[in-house]
Amino acid sequence: MRLLYVCFLGSLCGLAASPLAFGQASRPAADSTKPKVYTYTERLPVFPAREAADSARNTFQRLKRFLEQDKMFPPKALRDGVQGQVKFSFAVDAQGHTIDIKLVQGLRADVDSAVLRNAHRLEAIQWRPGTQNGRPVRVAYTVPLTFSAGNVGRNGEPFDSLDSGPYQKLVLPLGGWSGRLARLPAGKGFIYGSCLQRLGTNGLGMGQYVRLVNLTTHKAVRISVKPILKSRRENAFCYALPAGRYALFIYEYPDPVLGGLNLHFESLRKPRARQPTAGLGATRYLFTVAAGQLHYVGTWNLANEYDPIFLDEKALLDAALQPELPGLPLEMARVAIPR
């Protein structure tokens, strides 16, 4: 997601300082069928406040935030290294309605479609109209969005298709697998493993989680790798997951400074030195879950910041878990350690 955030932020801040580039007011001239375009507008349209925090934001910040809430850079375009600028235009009429949304400058079909799909959400917005000489007028906007697949984050990692997807929203953790269950739900596979967590003095009683993205269904799931109120450094986890190809996305653990109820979110990525030239496998650790199958996914050592390690300790974990999961033939599980 951060890739598009940078794009919107750069575009809208620049536009806010330039009325000619961003908004132009117009009203029909008496001697022409064409609207007269003003280079100065007494009052630009006001984007409505949609949450309490909006009272401290101006119109451009509110609009930027709205456009970011449902943005998505097509994963294939990101994998293909597509770069460039897309421009779309719209107008806010004298009644405060968003009208005439259209593409001004395209980049490629899937990117253009994603931009316009997001832009059409503006049709549900009721603005306070802009005015010229005290009268409500139509105001036209052109919004440029710059996409650059080569941008990198603050830790030097490249952006990928997960950054631009809708996976940042927090999801509730899944329920773990109970030893009383012996049959897998239809369409799901069973995964088990252990996790060596990052422990600090401020959050020993809090749970820790890993967020996964199912690249087949494009949905995120959240699994617990350290139960609440457990102080052990390493804990086993067992889950039934929908079949598909999975990517490790985010590690959530108590903030090392603030502790308490504050979670720290760490992106789970491969170090840049190990990355091949293309594909999501260049930046993320992946594994596959097959329906009706048991999978051992390894020991996830997350003790060191931005340096996850995945180990094969199946024999040890099978011996420890088998008494708790007597109905599952763990010895028959596939080894599916994230790679």
Same domain, 127 and 192: no
Burial class of residue 316, CB neighbours in 10 A (0-12, 13-18, 19+): exposed
Looking at 84, 116, 147, which one is the last position of a domain? Answer: 147
21-35, 174-188, 216-230: segment of lowest average pLDDT: 21-35
Same domain, 249 and 306: yes
Number of domains in the chain: 2
Distance CA 90, CA 96 (A): 12
Segment 53-71 mean pLDDT: 82
Answer whether residue 182 is part of any domain.
Answer: no
Report residue 205's pLDDT band, with 50, 70 and 90 as the boundaries. confident
Same domain, 116 and 216: no
Q: For residues 245-263, b (16+ Cβ closer than 10 Å) or e, as one string? A: ebbbbbbbbbbeeebeeeb
Distance CA 138, CA 131 (A): 8
Same domain, 135 and 7: yes
Looking at 147, 179, 200, which one is the last position of a domain? Answer: 147
Answer whether residue 256 is part of any domain.
Answer: yes
pLDDT of 20: 31
Contact 118, 71 (CB under 8 A): yes
Answer whether residue 213 is part of any domain.
Answer: yes
Segment 18-26 mean pLDDT: 42
Same domain, 211 and 93: no
Is the model's pLDDT at 156 over the cut of 70? no
Looking at 97, 120, 147, which one is the last position of a domain? Answer: 147
Answer whether residue 179 is part of any domain.
Answer: no
pLDDT > 90: percent of the chain: 45
Distance CA 36, CA 27 (A): 6
Which CATH number goes with the domain that contains 304? Answer: 2.60.40
pLDDT of 182: 75
Same domain, 263 and 141: no
Same domain, 136 and 212: no
pLDDT of 60: 86
DSSP string, 152-191: B-TTSPBP-TTTTSSTTS--PPPPPPPTT--SPPTTEEEE
Same domain, 101 and 232: no
* Alpha helices (H) in the chain, listed in sequence order: 2-16, 19-22, 59-68, 75-79, 109-119, 314-321
The neighbouring-strand residues paired with 34 are: none
Residue 244: domain span: 188-335
The SS3 assignment for 7 reads helix
Report residue 151's pLDDT band, with 50, 70 and 90 as the boundaries. very low
Task: Determine the longest span between alpha carbons in the chain, in angstroms.
Answer: 89
Same domain, 137 and 215: no
Answer whether residue 170 is part of any domain.
Answer: no
Report residue 56's pLDDT band, with 50, 70 and 90 as the boundaries. confident
Segment 1-24 mean pLDDT: 36
Answer whether residue 280 is part of any domain.
Answer: yes
Q: Around 150, how many Cα atoms within 13 Å sit in the side-chain half-sphere?
A: 2
Same domain, 226 and 122: no
pLDDT, tens only, 288-323: 999 999 999 999 999 988 889 999 999 999 999 999
